[in-house]
Amino acid sequence: MTTIHPEELLALWQNQRLTVEAAVGQLLENVVRLQTAIEAANLSRAHLRSDIDRLLAQARLTSAGGALDQAEDQAARKG
């Protein structure tokens, strides 16, 4: 059974070309597809958030390291 797009499903229902059983089956299939898509999107979002956090931590370390290097350079010039 192929999933029917919700707009087409509604049109079929309104034109009485769809049984209650077929409509419920189609709705269940659409819900399962939507749930699967939501779960995949949430997983992708979590991975992206993790990547962003890792990059931000690296940027902070690089920035802090750069500040320490500059302080050491200034101290060496004075000494």
Q: How crowded is the C-beta side of 30, counted as CA atoms within 13 Å?
A: 14
- Compare 11 and 2 and report the one with higher pLDDT: 11
As a whole number of angstroms, the distance between CA 44 and CA 24 comes to: 30
Over residues 12-64, the pLDDT tens digits come to 999 999 999 999 999 999 999 999 999 999 999 999 999 999 999 988 877 76
C-alpha–C-alpha distance, residues 22 and 1, integer Å: 10
